[in-house]
């Protein structure tokens, strides 16, 4: 039997009390939807907007910048001025654009806060602030469900304060905190080690891949070559009018931007945004065609696996009918690495934003070796891509697995048998 199990058996053999969160915490302001008796006391804080908060950032500062998101930083007492506070607090963001579990924070010491809702224990002899933090983390999905609104969402604080928190004896809370502190530190160390190892391996794999790719894509002078304008139908992208809502509502046609390549890589099956058929002018890009940025971020490219469109920053290349039997589209996709580098060097830089014209795009000399040679190159590079991709995907998957393990362990530690007749809603509970 573990020490914690022994303590639970000794100190609360019949279970623990569950009480409303409002009865054991003090928050930073009175909430309109919360009955007055639930907030007899508040502890006010001056808060800053996120941008203003990080304007305070100073190297080697000792005052914590308590942000509403994942980014944190430090400042000094002199810079903090009237915004300086000191204490042991747990915060949730007032406005959130990501999962709230990524934004719940605990801090003890001097700090300046952004627009957080800040909680402290009303009686630290009964409720540990660090235990409160771990419990709120375990309830992250529940708290997340209380956020409402379009765009930046805000929490329904009445629901947050009515949540039922288990209150085991303080020695048990402290033991749980100790265990979770140790496990948190261990998880962070293991994650850092794993990240360093896999990052180093990934860099090595990419160097190896780049070497083989560059070697395989060099062809002798007698290799047949054609102008890109002869091989490909070249079609520029466009943006249907944003003022015409019907062009965008209930859209089913993928409409690609640079964000899609950044988010989903170089093989694209769907887009982040979609266009309605009523917003289409001309022909859609055919499936198994190649998309490349020809304005601003020149040279980024992807293979499209469905019929689609793109914005005007992108240009589409689809193989003409007379070359379909001569050119493997996957080989063309791999050779676009060479083409993209050529485009970067030959772009027009004089107008501020770099651009390469359609007329210029048509002049690139594109090799077409025998189909068997193309397919062999594709087979080799596909295998390298798979190895690199497996490693790239393996890191976040492994980190996610470690996080799940941690969350499972945390939630088990914070799960208690409810003491009979312990759920009370009266005003006197633990005050």
Predicted pLDDT of residue 228: 96
For the chain, give the mean pLDDT: 90
85-102 residues labelled b (16+ CB within 10 A) or e (exposed) = beebbbbbbbbbeeebbe
Residues in the chain: 431
Of 150-159, 188-197, 326-335, least confident by mean pLDDT is 188-197
240-277 residues labelled b (16+ CB within 10 A) or e (exposed) = beeeeeebbeebebbbbbbebbeeeebebeebeebbbe
Predicted confidence band at 390 (pLDDT cuts at 50, 70, 90)? low
- The answer to whether 254 touches 305, Cβ cutoff 8 Å, is no
Average pLDDT over residues 83-101: 91
CA-CA-CA-CA dihedral for 202, 204, 209, 211, to nearest 10: 160
- Report pLDDT digits (tens) over 264-285: 889 999 999 999 999 999 899 9
Between 101 and 169, where is the model more confident? Answer: 169
Of 96-100, 120-124, 192-196, 389-393, least confident by mean pLDDT is 389-393
Joined tokens for residue 172:
């048990």
Angle, in degrees to the nearest 10, between helices 3-11 and 170-216: 150
Predicted pLDDT of residue 428: 42
Predicted pLDDT of residue 82: 94
- The answer to whether 307 touches 287, Cβ cutoff 8 Å, is yes
Predicted pLDDT of residue 200: 82
Angle, in degrees to the nearest 10, between helices 170-216 and 371-413: 170
Between 2 and 167, where is the model more confident? Answer: 167
CA separation (Å) from 13 to 5, 92, 391, 398? 10, 33, 48, 38
Q: Which domains does the chain have, with CATH numbers?
A: 17-168 (3.90.220.20), 220-368 (3.90.220.20)
Between 426 and 99, where is the model more confident? Answer: 99
Separation between Cα atoms, residue 422 and residue 168, nearest integer Å: 12
**Top-confidence range, 118-122, 207-211, 425-429:** 118-122
Separation between Cα atoms, residue 251 and residue 240, nearest integer Å: 12
pLDDT at 427 over 60: no
Predicted pLDDT of residue 287: 95
- What DSSP line would sit under 269-315, residue for residue? S--SEEE-GGG--SPPBPSSEEEEE-BSSTT-EEEE-S-BEE-TTEE
Predicted pLDDT of residue 292: 96
Predicted pLDDT of residue 86: 96
- Report pLDDT digits (tens) over 394-426: 666 777 777 788 888 888 889 999 987 444 444
């Amino acid at each position: 039997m573990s020490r914690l199990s022994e303590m639970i058996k000794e100190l609360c053999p019949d279970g623990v009390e569950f009480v409303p969160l409002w009865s054991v915490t003090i928050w930073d302001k009175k909430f309109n939807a919360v009955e007055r008796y639930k907030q007899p006391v508040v502890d006010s804080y001056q808060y800053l907007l996120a941008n203003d908060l990080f304007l305070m950032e100073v190297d080697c500062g000792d005052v914590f910048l308590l942000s509403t998101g994942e980014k944190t930083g430090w400042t000094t007492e002199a810079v903090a001025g009237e915004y300086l506070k000191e204490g042991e607090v747990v915060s949730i963001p007032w406005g959130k654009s990501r999962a709230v579990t990524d934004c719940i924070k605990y801090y003890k010491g001097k700090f300046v806060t952004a627009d957080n809702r800040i909680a402290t224990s009303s009686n630290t002899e009964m409720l540990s602030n660090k235990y409160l933090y771990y419990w709120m983390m375990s309830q992250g999905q529940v708290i997340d469900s209380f956020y409402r609104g379009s765009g930046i969402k805000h929490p329904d604080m009445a629901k947050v304060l009515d949540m039922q928190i288990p209150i085991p004896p303080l020695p048990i809370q402290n033991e749980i905190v100790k265990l979770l502190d140790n496990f948190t530190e261990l998880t962070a160390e293991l994650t850092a080690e794993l990240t360093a190892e896999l990052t180093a391996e990934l860099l090595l794999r990419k160097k190896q891949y780049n070497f083989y790719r560059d070697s395989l894509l060099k062809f002798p002078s007698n290799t047949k070559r054609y102008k890109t304008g002869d091989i490909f139908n070249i079609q520029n992208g466009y943006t249907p009018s944003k003022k015409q809502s019907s062009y965008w509502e209930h859209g089913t046609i993928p409409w690609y931007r640079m964000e899609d390549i950044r988010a989903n890589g170089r093989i694209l099956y769907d887009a982040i945004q979609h266009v309605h058929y009523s917003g289409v002018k001309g022909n859609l890009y055919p499936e198994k065609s190649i998309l490349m940025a020809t304005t601003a971020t020149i040279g980024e490219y992807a293979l499209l696996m469905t019929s689609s469109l793109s914005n005007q920053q992108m240009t589409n290349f689809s193989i003409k009918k007379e070359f379909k039997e001569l050119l493997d589209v996957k080989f063309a996709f791999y050779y676009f690495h060479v083409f993209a580098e050529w485009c970067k060097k030959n772009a027009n830089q004089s107008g501020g934003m770099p651009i390469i014209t359609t007329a210029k795009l048509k002049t690139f000399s594109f090799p077409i070796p025998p189909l068997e040679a193309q397919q062999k190159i594709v087979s080799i590079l596909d295998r390298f891509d798979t190895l690199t991709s497996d490693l790239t995907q393996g890191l976040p998957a492994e980190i996610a697995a470690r996080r799940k393990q941690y969350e499972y362990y945390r939630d088990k530690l914070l799960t208690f048998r409810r003491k009979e007749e312990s759920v009370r809603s009266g005003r006197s509970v633990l005050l």
